[in-house]
Structure 1
């Protein structure tokens, strides 16, 4: 379809180790969570099949758009990057929830690291994973995000006039979390040259289950230049296990600590898994899975209320509501001035 159709205190290794041990008992008890006040998920969806001619690369995307009458003015936009082996159709629970609450959500598919990784000869899957995880693909993914933003905001886009350029957010899970950090300013040095794909149009980042930057010894040097506000989400059983790659939960915390901005918050769910944040329905447990999904979708918007409105109360309320599921509850970073933009709470509902 064409696009004209429709600051948390530091978490030490010792402290987190204690959380993991304590979490085994806590996770065995189903928390009494009251259903959060979810808006009706009556949203519009459009599949966009773009091609970046300059790179001879397809950039498919799926756009979730608020239902007619929901926004009273230009809407904020979240550009979402999927994990290794996923596609534009994944993470639909995030796109639907965000659009139902007044945000447009553009899910970009990265053709060099999408579902084709798992297709073909099973004996060659390690080669395909290595190719997909190569730094050239990592940089190409960041370029996909910027290209998609170019297209959705371009003069030929039907949507451009209805998007607020001051409230554009990068988001992603796993490999997509790395992509989010790259467009947010993460830097690596190769042969004496700094590779920098920072896109200043992104004003905040949602970082879900971020892997380490494999091969980089100084994570602080890589992430020190990330200055946009970031909301980090993980779980105590969030272990990455891929052919040739394994990453413990501590890597998620190390990424959080190394990000240069003080305008950041960390949420750690008790139990869970790395893939609980995908559309898979059973991973992490039949009870915990939908709760973590709902909490993640809501928590991101509560953090963005802090970022764009300077209002810490939604994040505080979210932390209290979901506290039975949390090993670490996020706290709001200090805000100065009002910096207020209209939010989903200011918009009349149809």
Structure 2
């Protein structure tokens, strides 16, 4: 059990201790983190092993939680969806940065399209990729996101009282970016019936390297119904090359253009591959790799300042700071009065 998950001011230590011993919801198991995975002092980490009994599907997750030193009060939450062949342990640079800056970050593992895709007979990889990329798995991934959100916000979770339900974002890379768009309102029509998995609790989306919706010719019809603010991130060398699938950078730009909301922004890094946004430390080069990671983590929070607090200045400052790395710098959409929350304290900066 993680004993370094310490309640912030305002937490009940007794309640939080019971939470760690008993799990955060029915069917959830807290797993210790190995020493090699230990978090820095300003971040607390716990693994959650949920099972969705209705679907008979495991939904593992890793939670990054802000340190006790952050301001008291409910924290915003980002629910993150990994790319094909990844897991809850990936994209740690995002979880750690977001938690260090006052956000809780819940990284969901999708067992139908996680690292198991690469395990087994190498001659059957194409078959496993096809199954993982199937429409049924895409829908199951969206259901994983909603189930994980149910778990963390459930009345028995112990965390619900410390999360701000008005500031919950979905985020994801690659296949996870598609998952983010699905819970954000993407829809398809099958045999005259509209299929959608919109979860109204997600108020914004962070869309990193989104592939096209394979098999869908009218991308605008799929994405036009998305109304939540979305921040799109890609790079000029962001080419997806998987067995049986190839996607050029233009697909990322087409997804951005087809999203229905006008409350969106696009950042394109100069150089950098599709996998530079994963935890891989060398792709894109030893200099560019950590810079793109840091910029991506910071840019997401700068955009959420606009989406959640109506403050465009952090995104403008981010664009100026990282301009040497950007082929396209994002610009803030006009903030409405309804989106401005001057009473909410700005998130702490690390």
What TM-score range do you get, normalising by the shorter chain? Answer: 0.7 to 0.9
Q: Give the SS at the match of 1:77.
A: strand
- Counterpart residue number, 2:69: 69
In the alignment, the residues of structure 1 paired with residue 44 and residue 288 of structure 2 have an alpha-carbon distance, to the nearest angstrom, of 28
Determine helix, strand or coil for the equivalent of 1:143: helix
What is the aligned length? 316
- SS state of the match for residue 20, structure 2? coil
Deviations 1:22-65 (A, max 9, x none): xxxxxxxxxxxxxxxxxx86100000000000000000000000
User: How far off its partner does 1:336 sit?
Assistant: 1.6
Deviation at 1:136, TM superposition (A): 0.1
Deviations 1:232-282 (Å, cap 9, x if unpaired)? 000000000000000000000000000000000000000000000000000
- CA distance change for structure 1 residues 127 and 180 in 2, over 3 Å: closer, same or farther? same
Cα distance change of structure 1 residues 95 and 343 upon mapping to structure 2, 3 Å threshold: farther
> Are 1:81 and 2:81 an aligned pair?
yes
- Match of 1:102, SS? coil
Whether the 8 Å CA contact 1:71–1:348 is kept in 2: the answer is: no
User: Alpha carbons of 1:273 and 1:74: their partners in 2 closer, same or farther (altered >3 Å)?
Assistant: same
Matches of 2:302 and 2:343 in 1, distance apart?
14
Q: Using a 3 Å threshold, how does the CA distance of structure 1 residues 174 and 348 change in structure 2: closer, same or farther? A: closer
Question: Unaligned stretches of 5+ in structure 1?
Answer: 7-39
Tell me which residue corresponds to 2:223: 223
TM-score (norm 2): 0.88
Give the Cα separation in 2 of the matches to 1:341 and 1:221: 36
The answer to whether the aligner puts 1:159 opposite 2:159 as a matched pair is: yes
Gaps (5+ residues) in structure 2? Answer: 3-17, 22-39
CA distance in 1, matches of 2:162, 2:342: 15
SS class of match (2:320): helix
Q: Is the 8 A contact 2:101 2:349 kept in 1?
A: no
The secondary structure found in structure 1 opposite 2:290 is helix
Contact map agreement 2:275 2:283 (CA 8 A) in 1: yes
Equivalents in 1 of 2:285, 2:349: separation in Å? Answer: 37
Q: Is this contact kept in 1: 2:239–2:246, CA < 8 A?
A: yes
The 2-side partners of 1:343 and 1:96 are apart by 23
1:289-311, Cα deviation, whole Å (9 max, x unpaired): 00000000000000000111111
Distance 1:135 1:245, change over 3 A: same
Within-5 A mapping of 1:229-244: 229-244=229-244
Task: Say if 1:308 and 1:341, in contact at 8 Å, map to a contact too.
Answer: no
Q: What is the Cα deviation at residue 174 of structure 1?
A: 0.0
C-alpha distance in 1, partners of 2:347/2:184? 28
Aligned: 1:274 with 2:289: no
Partners in 2 of 1:51 and 1:297 — Cα distance? 29
Distance in structure 1 (CA, Å) of the matches to 2:189 and 2:314: 39
Cα distance between partner residues in 1 of 2:41 and 2:300: 17
Select the structure with the greater relative contact order (CA < 8 A; seq sep ≥ 6): 1
